[in-house]
Structure 1
Amino acid sequence: MILVEYWRSITKRKWSILGLVLLVALIATLVVFSMQPQFRSTTTIMIEQSKAKVVSIEEVYNSMGGNREYYQTQVEIIKSRELSRKVIERLKLNEHPDYDPRQKNNSGAKAWLPMNWFKSNEPLSEEQVLRSVMRSFTEDLQVQPVRNSQLVQISFTSPDKELAAKVTNTLADVYIENDLEAKVKMTQKASAWLTSQMGELRTKLEGSERSLQDYRERERIVDAKGVALSGAAKALEEASSGLVAARAKRAEAESLYNQVQAARQGKAGSLDSIPAVLRHPTVQKTKEIEAEAEKKLADASKRYGPEHPRMLQANAELTAARDNSRRQIEIVAAGVAKEYEVARSNEQAIAGALGQE
């Protein structure tokens, strides 16, 4: 009896129920047709904690804490809004149809989705556009450290395959540039500190020498070899030794920079023929992945035809591995110029502090 009552209620409202079902089906169809295929691009970079010293710079700037804290800090820097904003501005994502809210959901099936029925038509300010782009950018970005290594994987998902690759590469470039710019700024600050310290040391040294000379003349003492250096003289000697080391480091960086420039200009082989570039841990890792992809393709070619899905997948993996190797080599080569700039700034800072510019 109860079932009969239920059935009568259903048949009484059948058109309402049917209309609701059709509405849900229509919305589901619109959602499905509005969905786009998503592509993910991943770039791997290596984070190295610098061990280089400029005279006694560690006395001016304390080094970072443990390695784990340092790497986690670098990961957070990569994910920071500052670097994301630089990537957005460099690639002009605020004008890209997939990220510009002024161009999204305004046409096609998306315009009929319920989420877009009550949207305001008021023009957005540039700041509102940037906030919207930043929010979408952050959702599509993933920065993941590789466990038990110094590697960090930067991944980005987008309907545009080329854009996904551009974002990961650009973010890696921006991070490296940001890191090296920070080193240059630190060197400039250290230069000012060294200059003031060397000035004080010279004044102290000259005063000590005058006092010593007065004492010698008063006591009629003849100078002898092997007299211990004063604290000021010892500091100046250490600074001079630091200048020698800085010049050697600059010469080494300049030599590598010249090799990279020659390769870029086609005068001396290619970037992947430079030993220092190939020895970089990140490049070695990508080359290992490339070799594994080549082996996988060779094994697959023995069992499958060229159009078999396994062969197509192996070919795609090899292409991606080679592209990643080229990107990493370019990133390392770009870092060479910045490292040369840092080394040169270090040398100039110490030389300026010693008055040897």
Structure 2
Amino acid sequence: MKFEQFWNILRARKWIALAVLSLVVLSALAVSLLLPKQYSAASVVAVDIKANDPVTGQPVVGYLAPSFMATQVDIIASQNTALKVVDALGFANLPEARSRFLAETGGHGDIRHWFAETLLKHLDVKPSRDSNVINVGYTATEPRFAATLANAFVQAYVRTTVEIKTAAAQQNNQFFQSQLKGLQANVAQTQQRLSDYQQQQGIVATDERLDIETQRLNEIASQLVGVQSLTYDAQSRARGGAAAPDVLNNPLIQQLKNQLAQQEAKLKEQAEKNGPNHPHYLQARAEVEATRAQLNQLLAQYASGLSGAAGNSAARQGALQQALAAQKARVLELKSQRSGLEILKRDVENAQRAYDQALQRTSQTMLESRSDQANIIVLRSATEPDRPSGPRVLLNVALAIVLGLLLAVVTALGVELADRRIRARADIEDALGIDILATIPTLKLQ
């Protein structure tokens, strides 16, 4: 459809279009004037998302979640919050409220839940886009009632948030209280096992006792090393027997050897001078034999002494080795006892630590369950509005004009389609399928 056709249709059907437009505008105006006046009151609250827990002092991570503000809006507009408003204002006990409930529901259902759903229909909760502020508005036919409901919803919201926090804390507190008895019994059992083990092993001061025994072990080891050196030295000396350097270098042996050498020289001289049968020769030979016998006796005696010293040193070395083995076994036993004792001590410490932590959490959750502090601040309480918020007559009329224009155009087009007329050159061309060569202009009669 060309614009010329559209315009001619509107000009031809203008009275019908004006009638439809007038009907829509007048109907909207009448309805706006007849509707009861609505009053809106709003409270403004701020949610402190940086608040710390009043008991622990730690920042609450959940406040920083992106969905936190949306959750707060849902809590305000929840049935639980509305039920608190119903109970706080006592709607369920008012005779006129009960009459309205019976009239609209026939007595079916719960009056508290019915009033809660009814109140939520007129509640308007809007969070701020760039801040942590929430506007809680309520619309009613009476300004005082609207302000009362807006403030009641804010107070119910505060109580709901406190109840959510305290309910979780109460559950945690009951859980920790139920665990305390078992943890306390575990501490007592581990302590008893530690005490029994100390009594069985005769442990008083494990570290001091182990240190003393370890020191004894080190002393025995040092003595053994010294005795081993002495044994090796004594055995090496004893291996030479009478030809050992210690024997040969003995002053008495050296003296007897010198004496023997002199006597042998004297004997040789007597043999050359007097002969073997001379009394002086026989006397000299007797002296040589006596000195040689005495020297051999001393050599044998000193060699035996070296063997005895080596044997004594070896015996002492063996005794020290046995003492060292026994001391090692004792030290290892003490270390084993200390290891067992340390395990039991750690069990006691772990049991005590678990009990202390549970006791601390019990005290903490008990305080949290009794806390009535919320991270919500009321910035502005709702007051009775001076002017009604609705119905908005000018806005409704403006919308009715727009809607009326659309309906008027649609009605005009519909009437024209039902009774089609030739109103422009394009109508003839479309209907007959021929081209128009010329048109006679409309003459204006003077």
Q: TM-score scaled to structure 2, two decimals? A: 0.40
Quick check: which has more Rg, 1 or 2? 2
Q: TM-score scaled to structure 1, two decimals? A: 0.48
